[in-house]
Structure 1
Amino acid sequence: MTSWLGIIRLITCLGIVILFFTGRLEMNKSAAGVALGLLSLHFWLALPTYHGFITTLMIGSVVCFFFRWRLLIYIGIGACLANLAATSYLKNVQLAFIEPRNITIVGEVSSLLNHKKPDTLFDFVTSEMRSSDIRASKTLRVRLGWSEQVNIPEMKQGERWQLQVRLRPPHGRVNSAGYDRERQYVGQGIHATGVVLSGIRLAPSQHTLSGLRQSIFDAAVDYTEGLSHRGYLLALGFGFRGALDAKDWGILRDSGLAHLMAISGLHIGLAIMLGWWSGGILRNLVGDWPYAIWLPLWLGLAIGALYAWLAGFTLPTQRALLMSMVALVLLRFRIIWPGWQILLLVFAVSLALDPLASYRAGFWLSFAAVTVIALAYAGGVRFEGHAGLGVYQRWYGKWQALILLQLSLLVLMLPVQWLWFGGFSPWAPLINLLAVPWVSVTTVPLVLAAIVFSPIEQMAMVCWQLANTALTPVLWLAQWTQGGWWTLADSQGNWVVGVVVMAVLLWMLPVRRFIGLLVTLSIVVLLWNKPLFLFSDPKAELSGRSPAADRWQVDLLDVGHGLAVLISTRNRSVLYDTGNQWPGGSIASAVIEPVLKQRGQATLDGLILSHADSDHAAGADYLEVAFDPEWKRSSDFRAGYQACIRGEQWQWHSLSFRVLWPPKQVARAANPHSCVIEVRQFSGMNEGTGVSLLLTGDIDAVSELLLARLEPGLSPDILLVPHHGSRSSSTATWLEQMGWLGNMSPKYALVSVARFNPWQLPSGEVRQRYLDKGIEWLSTAESGQVTLAIEGGEIEVVRYRQDRKAAWFRPAIPPP
């Protein structure tokens, strides 16, 4: 982010706030208009449309100013700020990718790092970039990793380093479902990723705020060594999530406690309350000193700000701190605003400070949760009891209000949970009902006390141990919910919206008076099996269409370097290869599972492994447990797998599978033993007609030559390019000798390959060989997931990077 852009944002935000407080702007129009203008960045898809709309909007704002249409003027202000943010981000991304060779950068480490476990990934903010012909002062935020996994130097937040790196633009897998790394990079303001080749420390982090935060964190790491819940405690104290593994995140997701184990608005509110309480005690001690009357207010804000600083000023802490500041300043100056007005102001200011924040799930979850709480309050949920009630009645009322609030959060947060995570935890109300009060009263104060007493080792260690003990019953309870996450398919979106609408109507409208309306709407929701027009995705998945007997679909998933192909018909699927795995995760869990569950498929009909290499078969064990395939085939000997060798044939729904290679099973199938299968539409007497697909795995040139002799008439319409487009495959002999006319010429060539892979796949020579034959080249590196929908002999192609998830930050990738 350039300094001039930050100054413009700051001046704009200060101007908006000052005009709001002085009453010069209409609150509802101005804040809503600015917010709408800023959110336009989130919904514009392509750069040409984006800039054209900006120009039209600016001209329209001038016209609106002349006619005094103020709302559109505010929208124009927000849109201009959004334009500045997008343009700055794209320019920085282009600057970061100067050239593929090494460059030198100078800057500061911005990540909080654990000295007990050196991290290979860290964030770095540059102040200078140097190459052979370029030397520029530029502020970029880059995410780096050390090229060597051993002998990594110890780094600390706030230190200045000179690093020799190889940078590349932010890039990630693009599929119909699953983790979208590119979107996350935009939300975090990451301009580039790269590999560190060498580094020199220029200055330590002493005498800086970042260094102070790192030193407090280092002390906490030492004090919590050996504690069973160390990762959770560091997350609660500093917003540091590096000590939480995949199992921990699974527990937090399934129990609905993810918000509780990262510093959020709840924790900032608790810190402010502790500061207010401490300020009240001090005010009583100083007596009648006139300036002490507001001591609780300022001390509460100070402690809240300190806690937000410890958390790195994450999005939830920013929102909570801004809301608290506005509310307490209004209290200080005896100004009364309704709660929704404060929320709207903070929403607009948060977006103005960082328009790209709208690309992060935490932003929407944070504001959505506060909105639901405000709606619950407006709907009659109150925690304060009447003075005339007894102790039992007051406590009963508070617990009743807490239960209603948790149910409100579960139901009304469903759309946000569905859009960002594809599901929800039904256990969240119960777990949060018990965990939130307990953690708020015990764990968080103990964590804060441990941080305060960091200079006193014995006191700090006692507080950390007590906080660890206080977390034990919460996490024990959360573990009972493992596997309790409910996935919502795309086809269930209308149910999500219907449930939310009905819940709001039942809450707001008296049942006796509106019984007819409520019953009618309930029937409509139950019988409505089509997506709602206003809330349906105009880019709905091809698999979401009504099933037809002769329609089938091929999905080449974007799995980086590896292979995973889904073959689907009638909302059932067969998987060819599973992609790779890594410590703590796999393609099977990160890509294949989300795609299948998005379609509402809880099982696989079949699983085929082409050969035993990890980039093709590493996720088999996971999928066997998660989706329980009805049948499994492989070209090597595996327990529970049928043979996938030449001569094997079977039918599945309207498709026929014919194995062409290898001639026999082996102990461990390597590239030459890949299972090659022809898939073709099967319809009674017309078995040999229709569109055909050839799955080739990683066969090499020798296997291609032998296969060409065995199957001289083979001429598929869709060909999976062997071995990711390597020079060792796709020989001229393979392409020229096959087919009835001695020339295999499929319509489409599919290649599964990672961008920036170290093997420089696919080979440019191989790619040109296909293009010279007039074959359309479809690569996951350029197109993301590639979907081919086949019906009536026609093939419809969808490239997810260009056709389904195109966005201003995701420009078309030129071929290598």
Structure 2
Amino acid sequence: MRLVSIAFALGVLLLQLQGHLPPWSWLTLLLLASLGGAAAALRVRRLQQVGQGRGRGTHARWASLLLLACFAALAGFSWSAWRAGLALSSQLAAADEGRDFVVTGIVSRMPQNTALGIRFQLDVEQLDPAGPLPGQAAPISMPQRLSLGWWGGRRQGAVAESEERHRPVVHAGERWRLTVRLKRPHGLRNPGGFDAEAWMLERGIDATGTVRLAQERLSPFVIRPDTTIERVREAVRDRFLATLPAQDYPWGGVLAALAVGDQQAVDAGQWRIFARTGTTHLMSISGLHVTLVAGLVAALAGALWRRHPRAPLGLATPRAAALAGVAAALIYTLLAGAGVPALRTLSMVGVAALAVATGRATRVSRVLAAALLAVLLLDPWAVLAPGFWLSFGAVAALLYVGAGRVGHHASPTPEAVPAWRRRVRDELARFGLTQWAATWATLPLVLFFFQQFSLVSPLANAVAIPLISLVVTPLALLAALVPLDSLLWLAHGVLAPLMAALQWLADQPLSVWTPAAPPAWSVALALAGLGLLLAPRGLPGRLAGLVLLLPALSWPASRPAPGEAWVTVLDVGQGLAVVVRTAEHTLAYDTGPAWGETDAGERVVAPYLRTLGVDRLDGLVVTHSDRDHSGGALSVLAAFPVDWLVDTLPPAHPAHHFDVPRSACEAGLAWVWDGVRFTVLHPRPEALVPGVKPNRQSCVMMVEAGGSRLLLAADLEIPDEAAVVGRSGSALAADVLVAPHHGGASASSPAFVAAVRPAQVVFSAGYRNRFAHPRSEVVERYRQIGSVVWRTDRDGAIGFRLGPAGVTGIAERQRQPRYWATADEASAR
């Protein structure tokens, strides 16, 4: 069972790393090969049972295991490919993007409130064009599930007047008829960044879009199992947030997350505290919480069952308790949104209960293997989530420790010591041992996925785990079942001092270690090394585990050679963010847009810098005050020490409240880092006065490395382009140009294009943005002079290496192609 589960998981992972799905004919052959492998394995097993001699039986055993592993891997690959093909077949066709449709459907998930409006999922029942289709148009596609945004201030059609003036009101289980504009599932693609397209594929989202017109709410509630659960979740969340308003009870959203898994209720500042203290796992419905609920309910059910005189005669008490525990775990998992940790624990509880019900003893490792198989059968995309690896990795480490593989000798206990004291001491020792093992076992995975490790995590978890698991979570769950406000106030009263302590730990200057992301092979070596270190004390070669740990823990960050520059134009949607690295310095040029409660600085720029192992910025340039360029500046300034800020922001801008040396960005400013020259070409000092259009204040910069040149043009427009061309002339020529104003019609004049004559040009723009950037006539203008055209909406982040050898470039979607990627040149517009 264990070998089959691991091989199946490897087959699933292999499929998820593919750039294209295999054709159905190949899948058929793979499935047939899997069946053949299973038959061969069974045949070898029979031969083993009747074989003569020990050697022959051993060879047969190993042959059967190998065949079983191959069968399981092929089965995992085929199963996930088949599921992926079904999921992709229902996605919106590229030809239907940008059209308006009248859709009738049911709100299938708890809606999420945002600063701009509301976002919700709609299960489609009927989809029709809102107007006549273009002549000879292909039949429209039929997506099954939509993710829709309904923003306040837009046309609301037939909804109530109060709803039109305020945010839209939508509840889980309602049936609506809406006019929507759709596009295919698309997300930002950056090194080390979150893959939204994979996330949407996993959740069956076939298209995203916005509500253009609300025609009618057809039904207040459609009774289905999923909508009933979601309406209950929504009611609990809304009651929590209404009873604990954020202005008076700042941690009310955390209680909602613990009760019903609504992580949107936790704001960005609170997530920062959890990330820096290594307690993020406690803010989701983790396996620990599900196990706790199942255990408490099983114990209570067993106690009540024993008291009934006839109940144990019909069903044994252990079986009744096991069934009650499984039922409680199932209900809690469904109310929590069925995340990977909860599903893993539910599967383990179910297998253990089955063993109790059938009277068969089952090893815990087999239970974990069954849970692994169950999770991947339900959700083959789970292997893409860090939580999958951390969840199963931590449990596997605890099993490894619990099986007695960590040697320790209990000290003699005098008989005079009371039993309760010995029990407390043993429990504390066991708790400390499991925390130590789980922390070290997941360290390589944490560094691989997040490129940071909380140095205060052991202390923070030692305090937070008991309080949250044994006090706060039970109170939150009890408050969800019993509508008593006093329970919520009590839970918040316990949580508040804990969060104050965690915030103090998070604010310590050395609370987080930020190394470069280690390669996958070094993580595998580190896990093997930890297996040795956690082995029994008498095992020879345990200290060799330290050697195996070294590559992952000390992997050096890649840096350019002196005189070279590595430049990454990040994919931030409709905005701009660029990172320039030299041998010893790192510069961020703009920080991308703001998106309501969050921004590109927090979601894109900071994670990318951590991937590189960057723990401070030598310089931050904010070209002008437009939010698509400066929206992430505050998040970057809060996340990293910054040695020097260069900007054209107004004096009252919040970025100036940080204690950072500042220089105004003016033409003539220049400096050299590691043989790479940076020169500001615009604006002139007279443009840096109040009332001047922000685009006219754009900080334009030339980067020169080993004879190669990169021009960063921000939002420079045609009149100022002419001024820059007049001042610089032929010195404006560059090998790479980040096109001004995202490729808009108000920039990239013929004179400017002719003066720069870039061999490669980058347009940083959002997918199907409302400005239609980059304009087709602008793109054609560059192509006519032979420029290679890159687009972040189509290619993802684009990296360049500048140096004496010239310029090389590669896009993230080329570097790591994935079969679910939807952005091609036709659909990028």
Q: Same fold (TM over 0.5)?
A: yes
| Paired residue secondary structure (1:574) | strand
Matches of 2:320 and 2:27, distance apart in 1: 47
C-alpha RMSD over aligned residues: 3.3
Matches of 1:753 and 1:713, distance apart in 2: 28
| Paired residue secondary structure (2:182) | strand
Q: 1:808 aligns with which of 794, 797, 819?
A: 819
Q: 1:379 aligns with which of 384, 391, 404?
A: 404
Residue 649 (1) aligns with residue 649 (2): no
How far the C-alpha of 1:657 sits from its partner, in A, is 2.6
Q: Give the partner amino acid of 1:647.
A: G
Matches of 1:197 and 1:420, distance apart in 2: 38
Bigger drift between 727-736 and 427-436 goes to 427-436
| Paired residue secondary structure (2:534) | helix
Deviation digits for residues 161-180 of structure 1 (CA, Å, limit 9, x no counterpart): 22211111121221123333
Matches of 2:404 and 2:608, distance apart in 1: 38
- Asked whether the 8 Å contact 1:141–1:189 carries over to 2, the reply is yes
How far the C-alpha of 1:326 sits from its partner, in A, is 1.0
Q: How does 1:691-770 map to 2 (within 5 A)?
A: 691-714=708-731, 715-736=733-754, 738=755, 744-770=756-782
Q: Give the partner amino acid of 1:655.
A: V
Deviation digits for residues 325-346 of structure 1 (CA, Å, limit 9, x no counterpart): 1101111111122111111112
Q: 2:147 aligns with which of 136, 143, 147?
A: 143
Q: 2:515 aligns with which of 488, 497, 512?
A: 488
Q: 1:448 aligns with which of 470, 474, 477?
A: 477
Residue 182 (1) aligns with residue 197 (2): yes
Partner of 1:306: 331
Partner of 2:443: 414
Instruction: Decide whether aligned partners of structure 1 residues 663 and 297 sit closer, same or farther in structure 2, where only a CA change above 3 A counts.
Output: closer
Residue 205 (1) aligns with residue 221 (2): yes
Bigger drift between 610-619 and 488-497 goes to 488-497
Matches of 2:714 and 2:578, distance apart in 1: 10
Q: How many residues align?
A: 756
Q: Give the structure-1-normalised TM-score.
A: 0.85
Partner of 1:221: 238
Partner of 2:81: 83
Instruction: Decide whether aligned partners of structure 1 residues 481 and 216 sit closer, same or farther in structure 2, where only a CA change above 3 A counts.
Output: same
Matches of 2:753 and 2:116, distance apart in 1: 50
Instruction: Decide whether aligned partners of structure 1 residues 206 and 562 sit closer, same or farther in structure 2, where only a CA change above 3 A counts.
Output: closer
Q: Give the partner amino acid of 1:254.
A: R
- Asked whether the 8 Å contact 1:381–1:401 carries over to 2, the reply is no
How far the C-alpha of 1:764 sits from its partner, in A, is 0.2
Instruction: Decide whether aligned partners of structure 1 residues 45 and 544 sit closer, same or farther in structure 2, where only a CA change above 3 A counts.
Output: farther
Partner of 2:581: 568
Q: How does 1:348-427 map to 2 (within 5 A)?
A: 348-379=373-404, 390-427=419-456
- Asked whether the 8 Å contact 2:593–2:630 carries over to 1, the reply is yes
Q: Give the partner amino acid of 2:488.
A: W
Partner of 2:262: 240
Deviation digits for residues 127-179 of structure 1 (CA, Å, limit 9, x no counterpart): 33222569989562221111435533322212222221111112122112333
Instruction: Decide whether aligned partners of structure 1 residues 649 and 281 sit closer, same or farther in structure 2, where only a CA change above 3 A counts.
Output: closer
Residue 428 (1) aligns with residue 457 (2): yes
How far the C-alpha of 1:495 sits from its partner, in A, is 7.6
Instruction: Decide whether aligned partners of structure 1 residues 591 and 35 sit closer, same or farther in structure 2, where only a CA change above 3 A counts.
Output: closer
Matches of 1:625 and 1:213, distance apart in 2: 36
Q: 2:621 aligns with which of 608, 618, 625?
A: 608
Matches of 1:89 and 1:345, distance apart in 2: 25
Q: Give the partner amino acid of 1:777.
A: V
Q: Give the partner amino acid of 1:264.
A: S
How far the C-alpha of 1:592 sits from its partner, in A, is 1.9
How far the C-alpha of 1:772 sits from its partner, in A, is 1.1
- Asked whether the 8 Å contact 1:358–1:364 carries over to 2, the reply is yes
Matches of 1:137 and 1:631, distance apart in 2: 52
Instruction: Decide whether aligned partners of structure 1 residues 337 and 509 sit closer, same or farther in structure 2, where only a CA change above 3 A counts.
Output: same
Matches of 1:265 and 1:523, distance apart in 2: 32
Percent pairwise identity: 28
- Asked whether the 8 Å contact 2:114–2:596 carries over to 1, the reply is no
Partner of 1:108: 106
Matches of 1:563 and 1:446, distance apart in 2: 45
| Paired residue secondary structure (1:123) | strand
Q: How does 1:14-29 map to 2 (within 5 A)?
A: 27-29=1-3
Partner of 1:685: none
Residue 506 (1) aligns with residue 536 (2): no
Q: How does 1:152-191 map to 2 (within 5 A)?
A: 152-191=167-206
Matches of 1:605 and 1:794, distance apart in 2: 25
How far the C-alpha of 1:525 sits from its partner, in A, is 5.4
Partner of 1:687: none
Partner of 2:59: none
| Paired residue secondary structure (2:212) | strand
Deviation digits for residues 356-397 of structure 1 (CA, Å, limit 9, x no counterpart): 2222333333222221221121235799x9999822122111
- Asked whether the 8 Å contact 1:29–1:71 carries over to 2, the reply is yes
| Paired residue secondary structure (1:77) | helix
Matches of 1:414 and 1:116, distance apart in 2: 34
How far the C-alpha of 1:716 sits from its partner, in A, is 1.5
Bigger drift between 158-167 and 773-782 goes to 158-167
Deviation digits for residues 86-139 of structure 1 (CA, Å, limit 9, x no counterpart): 111211224487342111222221222479999511122223322256998956
- Asked whether the 8 Å contact 1:54–1:80 carries over to 2, the reply is yes
- Asked whether the 8 Å contact 2:793–2:823 carries over to 1, the reply is no
Partner of 1:548: 561
Partner of 1:262: 284
Partner of 1:630: 643
How far the C-alpha of 1:761 sits from its partner, in A, is 0.5
Matches of 2:695 and 2:427, distance apart in 1: 65
Instruction: Decide whether aligned partners of structure 1 residues 220 and 779 sit closer, same or farther in structure 2, where only a CA change above 3 A counts.
Output: closer
Q: How does 1:6-17 map to 2 (within 5 A)?
A: none
Partner of 2:8: 34
| Paired residue secondary structure (1:313) | coil
| Paired residue secondary structure (1:120) | strand
- Asked whether the 8 Å contact 2:121–2:148 carries over to 1, the reply is yes
Partner of 1:472: 496
How far the C-alpha of 1:720 sits from its partner, in A, is 2.1
| Paired residue secondary structure (2:702) | strand
| Paired residue secondary structure (1:107) | strand
Matches of 1:593 and 1:775, distance apart in 2: 31
| Paired residue secondary structure (1:296) | helix
Q: Give the unaligned 5+ runs of structure 1.
A: 1-26, 455-459, 532-542, 683-689, 739-743
Q: Give the partner amino acid of 1:662.
A: P
How far the C-alpha of 1:698 sits from its partner, in A, is 1.5
Matches of 1:118 and 1:566, distance apart in 2: 29
Q: Give the partner amino acid of 1:705.
A: A
Q: Give the partner amino acid of 1:646.
A: A
Q: Give the structure-2-normalised TM-score.
A: 0.84
Matches of 1:29 and 1:730, distance apart in 2: 60
Instruction: Decide whether aligned partners of structure 1 residues 614 and 119 sit closer, same or farther in structure 2, where only a CA change above 3 A counts.
Output: closer
Q: Give the unaligned 5+ runs of structure 2.
A: 42-66, 154-164
Q: 1:660 aligns with which of 681, 706, 718?
A: 681
How far the C-alpha of 1:29 sits from its partner, in A, is 4.6
Partner of 2:57: none
| Paired residue secondary structure (2:591) | coil
Q: Give the partner amino acid of 1:72.
A: C
Instruction: Decide whether aligned partners of structure 1 residues 403 and 494 sit closer, same or farther in structure 2, where only a CA change above 3 A counts.
Output: farther
How far the C-alpha of 1:82 sits from its partner, in A, is 0.9
Matches of 1:557 and 1:114, distance apart in 2: 27
